[in-house]
Chains A and B, each alone.
Chain A
Amino acid sequence: MSDNSYKTPQTTARYSATFDEYTMSEIRRAAATGIYDIRGGGAKRKLPHFDDLLFLGASVSRYPLEGYREKCGTDVVLGTRYAKKPIYLKTVITIAGMSFGALSGPAKEALGRGATAVGTSTTTGDGGMTPEERGQSKTLVYQYLPSRYGMNPDDLRKADAIEVVIGQGAKPGGGGMLLGQKISARVAKMRCLPEGIDQRSSCRHPDWTGPDDLEIKINEIREITDWEKPIYVKIGATRPYFDVALAVKAGADVVVLDGMQGGTAATQEVFIEHVGLPILAAIRPAVKALQDLGVYRNGKDSVQLIVSGGIRNGADVAKAIALGADAVAIGTAALIALGDNDPHLEAEYNKLGTTAGAYDDWHEGKDPAGITTQDPELMQRVDPVKAGHRLANYIAVMTMEAQVVARACGKSHLHNLEPEDLVALTIEASAMAQVPLAGTSWIPGVTQF
């Protein structure tokens, strides 16, 4: 007798791990438009990161400091090597360079206000310095970029430090782009371009090639500014040992090292996700280069290292410092503190076909939060005073969190944190950060298992 109730079972619908939903949607998008995807933000895929490290803290073999009672310094001096006027910051957390053009005037002003309130620096970006930004930033770093949009010697002299940008972690080897929607009359005028065009920023500096020329270029900037200002060199993380060594040789006071999680205003998706190193893998080789050249924490001769790319909280800050950085820079996190991708705007994000937290079409200039836009109405939504206050709170929290961790490790200054204080949760992170796998003394590539 046959069982009529038995039906041949069907397997459940199964998506391919290789051709996942996002991948398929991108194939369809490319097929329909014939142009690559451009977006803002940093790498979205999961990468080995600071979360893969843990602090050991103190116990019998190490002695902790009393929380809130015993001093734990957070300040940093940048640019001691050659500059007559080094920069002094109260916290090791700085604001990364983000262009006026990519960001609205009020957003730039808010960054300046927030940074100033907590005694740290902010940085200009592609497109030049705005009076709002200079006015509200006690310490302002002026970027000297390949495009030289808006670059002029008066602003160079007004800056507190100068950052020669060679690359960014999100797109090492790539130039910038700012699409027509954001080339407003003011942005166009500052960049000396026709209004509304899709603008490209070059990927190489126009008047120098290679490290020997860079040395002469840095010297020129020093001569123009009478050797007063620290000169930073910013690089995307690719070959950190060699690039840092060459930057030092060229005369940098400070090296800024940006990992692949680092945000961008607008870049091709393929570039953001597939070029460069995660910051975790880049810090130790960079520090090694400084050590080999005798400029690592060596008094007045020191070249300071600022790292960035996916810094989100005080633990990330402390881990970056423990691996050897002197300071960190934040971009994306600062924008979130100002109000970017905030859930209270969900209905408006939905109208743009996305959701709060995932919005990354910053190049389109329609940001409901008024931050990554040049639309005069949308940008009114940023109250520079309130947004600046939120940023100041956030930096203060991160600084205190870093202190909590440092005190637990028995350190009276964040700079006393060291790789010794860390272990890794994964073999990958252990190899990249060169700290032992938790519970072992094994560092792949360094010690025997």
Chain B
Amino acid sequence: MDNISFDLDKKPLREVNQLLHGDAAGLNGKSFTIENPNGAHSIAVGLKSDVHVTIKGHAGYYAAGMNQIAKVTIEGSAGSGVAENMMSGVVHVKGFASNAAGATANGGLLIIDGDAGLRCAIALKGADIVVGGSVGSFSAFMAQAGNFVILGDAGEGLGDSIYEAKIFVRGKVKSLGADCEVKTMDAESKKILTDLLAKSGHVDVKPESFTQYGSARTLYHFHVDNAGAY
């Protein structure tokens, strides 16, 4: 497998991103490393072919934003909105992730080995997110679809106004948001969780040690009795 290395100290990010947006036929199967990222914003955004990009250090905002098909590994921490609106592929953050990690992601898998900040998985639209550590407050706000696995704890207002996304938490939840409730884990959900744990390198973690949360569906229709919750 070819590996091409870019040094962001020497090559402008614009040129690197442009190259990574090239014709899929020419890019598929190739690997790239990005040296000296030094927290630059928008690294490897808008990828759409079968490449593997490894970022050797910390990334700024929106790393791997809107990713399609590609695999992006961040060997450091990621700023706000990592893998925001991802459609497919895999994004793996080996360090911590800041706010809004995986926001509105539609598909693919986001793995965060460390903790994630506020509003992780906000408005999630179908992707899978596995956080090895804990997540900040207001995570999974209005999460519509997809699966969100948290091995550590969750902050305040988890799953506020959640729609059909599934949340699995192993640690403590500080508080649940409006319309989010504990669910009994059925066989299908357990399988989803088991698969995601395996895919994200947590093979020995037992699915039974998680509690599942989801929508109580009481806010699906505007109604006077819900006024206090709006």
Q: How far is the CB of A28 from chain B (nearest CB, A)?
A: 15
Stretch at the interface among B41-49, B168-176, B183-191: B41-49
- The residue among A35, A156, A194, A224 with the most chain B CB atoms within 10 A of its own CB is A224
Question: What are the residues of chain B within 8 A of A153 when measuring CB–CB?
Answer: 46, 48, 66, 68, 85, 87
Does A213 reach chain B (CB closer than 8 Å)? yes
Interface positions of A from 210 to 238, Cβ below 8 Å from B: 213, 216-217, 219-220, 223-227
Question: What are the residues of chain B within 8 A of A74 when measuring CB–CB?
Answer: none
Does B180 reach chain A (CB closer than 8 Å)? no
Does B214 reach chain A (CB closer than 8 Å)? no
Question: What are the residues of chain B within 8 A of A202 when measuring CB–CB?
Answer: 123, 142
Known: A35-B223, A216-B41. A148 touches B104 (CB 8 A): yes
Question: What are the residues of chain B within 8 A of A216 when measuring CB–CB?
Answer: 41-42, 60-62
Q: Beta-carbon contacts of A160-199 to B below 8 Å, as 1s and 0s?
A: 0000000000000000010110000000000111100110
Q: Quick check: A207 and B81 within 8 Å, CB to CB?
A: yes
Q: Quick check: B161 and A200 within 8 Å, CB to CB?
A: yes
State the majority secondary structure of interface residues on A.
Answer: loop
Measured CA separation A206–B85 after assembly (Å): 10
Does B11 reach chain A (CB closer than 8 Å)? no
Does B125 reach chain A (CB closer than 8 Å)? yes
Q: Quick check: B161 and A194 within 8 Å, CB to CB?
A: no
Q: How far is the CB of B228 from chain A (nearest CB, A)?
A: 12
Question: What are the residues of chain A within 8 A of B41 when measuring CB–CB?
Answer: 216, 219-220
Question: What are the residues of chain A within 8 A of B199 when measuring CB–CB?
Answer: none
Q: How far is the CB of B60 from chain A (nearest CB, A)?
A: 8
Q: Quick check: A226 and B221 within 8 Å, CB to CB?
A: no
Question: What are the residues of chain A within 8 A of B161 when measuring CB–CB?
Answer: 200
Does A34 reach chain B (CB closer than 8 Å)? yes
Q: Quick check: A197 and B221 within 8 Å, CB to CB?
A: yes
Q: Quick check: A148 and B222 within 8 Å, CB to CB?
A: no
Question: What are the residues of chain A within 8 A of B221 when measuring CB–CB?
Answer: 180, 197-198
Question: What are the residues of chain B within 8 A of A191 when measuring CB–CB?
Answer: 144
Interface positions of B from 66 to 103, Cβ below 8 Å from A: 66, 68, 80-81, 84-85, 87, 99-100, 103
Does A147 reach chain B (CB closer than 8 Å)? yes
Stretch at the interface among B2-10, B13-21, B128-136, B202-210: B13-21
Does A2 reach chain B (CB closer than 8 Å)? no
Q: How far is the CB of B180 from chain A (nearest CB, A)?
A: 15
Question: What are the residues of chain A within 8 A of B68 when measuring CB–CB?
Answer: 153-154
Known: A207-B80, A207-B100, A216-B42. A179 touches B222 (CB 8 A): yes
Measured CA separation A427–B50 after assembly (Å): 64
Q: How far is the CB of B143 from chain A (nearest CB, A)?
A: 10
Does A151 reach chain B (CB closer than 8 Å)? yes
Q: How far is the CB of B183 from chain A (nearest CB, A)?
A: 16
Q: Contacting A148 at CB < 8 Å: which of B18, B62, B85, B141? A: B85
Interface positions of B from 34 to 65, Cβ below 8 Å from A: 41-42, 45-46, 48, 60-62, 65
Question: What are the residues of chain A within 8 A of B145 when measuring CB–CB?
Answer: 192
Q: How far is the CB of B76 from chain A (nearest CB, A)?
A: 18
Interface contacts beyond A152-B85, A217-B62, A219-B42: sample of 13 additional A-B pairs, CB < 8 Å, sorted by A:
A153-B87, A193-B164, A194-B163, A197-B220, A202-B123, A206-B141, A207-B100, A208-B80, A216-B61, A219-B41, A220-B41, A226-B18, A227-B14
* A residues whose Cβ falls under 8 Å from a Cβ of B: 33-35, 147-148, 151-154, 156, 177, 179-180, 191-194, 197-198, 200, 202, 206-208, 213, 216-217, 219-220, 223-227
User: Can you show 11 pairs from A to B with CB atoms below 8 A apart?
Assistant: A153-B87, A192-B125, A197-B163, A198-B220, A198-B222, A202-B123, A206-B84, A206-B103, A207-B80, A208-B81, A223-B45
